């Protein structure tokens, strides 16, 4: 799974709303590691408000 320019997108969203809640939605068939990679990128950007769900 590739998440191109995710760091730039995270920073752009934070400039608009520093209190933004980031929601990570994964497919039930997705690998656990893929979700964790996205969460790790958010945590590296100092995001504290993260919501996780599957569809």
Question: What are the pLDDT tens digits along the chain (55 aa)?
Answer: 556 667 888 889 989 998 999 999 999 999 999 899 999 999 999 999 999 999 8
For 44, the 3-state DSSP assignment is helix
For 48, the 3-state DSSP assignment is coil
Burial of 39 (0-12, 13-18, 19+ CB in 10 A): middle
pLDDT at 6: 79
pLDDT at 21: 94
Q: Rounded CA gap, 35 and 54, in Å? A: 10
Q: Rounded CA gap, 38 and 35, in Å? A: 5
pLDDT at 40: 92
pLDDT at 2: 59
Total-model pTM: 0.78
């Amino acid at each position: 799974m590739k998440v191109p320019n995710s760091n730039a997108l995270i920073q752009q969203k934070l400039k608009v709303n520093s209190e933004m809640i980031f929601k990570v939605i994964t497919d039930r068939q997705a690998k656990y590691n893929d979700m964790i990679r996205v969460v790790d990128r958010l945590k590296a950007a100092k995001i504290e408000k993260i919501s996780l769900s599957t569809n």
